[in-house]
Amino acid sequence: MRFRDEQLEFGPPIRNSLGIEFSPIPSGTFLIGSPDSEPGRDADERSCEVTIERGFYLSAFEIRQVHYRAVMGVNPSAHEHDQNPVESVSWADAVEFCETLSGRDEERMAGRSYRLPTEAEWEYACRAGTTSMYHFADEQADLSNHAWFKT
């Protein structure tokens, strides 16, 4: 989840009225997608240069169940615990969460509104200036030391 472009001047990390932390992501240019030589690349994938023209704030962590419940009044998660990330939500649920959070008095009064990041914004933030296959390097064998995944 991120703030809309027209909201807030770019600056240090912030917390909103629910205590959700947002990290600043500066503007910049990067190659989206993966190069032809990358293992596991989809045949129809193309790499191209993309410019993120305005810096933005992106939630530093997944939305926790306690925050989702505070905004939406329900917790759809199968693995309930307030500090766990909310799961079992659709894209439409996530959009509704952003819209509902944007409508809260505290957020409106602070001049904040929320939306989901675009695919380019998400990849740009995840890459964090790296050009390797993964944020830590190009070694797929080392992936299990950095992430949970299923092939």
pLDDT at position 5 is: 46
Mean pLDDT of 72-82: 97
How many other CB atoms are there within 10 angstroms of residue 86's CB atom?
A: 21
Alpha helices in 104-146 (DSSP H): 105-109, 119-127
pTM of the model: 0.82
Spell out the residues 6+ positions from residue 126 whose beta carbon is closer than 8 angstroms to its own.
Answer: 135
pLDDT digits (tens, 9 = 90+) for 24-67: 999 999 988 888 878 778 888 888 999 999 999 999 999 999 99
Give φ, ψ of 76 to 5 degrees. -80, 0
